[in-house]
Amino acid sequence: DTEVTQTPKHLVMGMTNKKSLKCEQHMGHRAMYWYKQKAKKPPELMFVYSYEKLSINESVPSRFSPECPNSSLLNLHLHALQPEDSALYLCASSQGFRDRRLGGYTFGSGTRLTVV
Partner 1 sequence: AQTVTQSQPEMSVQEAETVTLSCTYDTSESDYYLFWYKQPPSRQMILVIRQEAYKQQNATENRFSVNFQKAAKSFSLKISDSQLGDAAMYFCAYRGALGGGTASKLTFGTGTRLQVTL
- In this structure, the strands spanning 31-37 and 44-50 are antiparallel
Find out whether 111 and 60 touch, Cβ atoms under 8 Å. Answer: no
Q: Give how many residues touch partner 1 by CB under 8 A.
A: 31
Find out whether 52 and 111 touch, Cβ atoms under 8 Å. Answer: no
Q: Which of 17, 20, 22, 45 binds partner 1 (CB under 8 A)?
A: 45
Within residues 84-103, the interface with partner 1 by CB under 8 A covers: 88, 90, 92, 94, 96-103
- Least separation in angstroms between residue 80's CB and partner 1 is 26
Q: Which of 40, 59, 62, 84 binds partner 1 (CB under 8 A)?
A: 40
Tell me which residue of 8, 38, 35 sits closest to 91, measured CA to CA: 35
Tell me which residue of 37, 9, 4, 43 sits closest to 23, measured CA to CA: 4
Q: Is 107 in the site for partner 1 (CB under 8 A)?
A: yes
Q: Which of 29, 36, 43, 87 binds partner 1 (CB under 8 A)?
A: 43
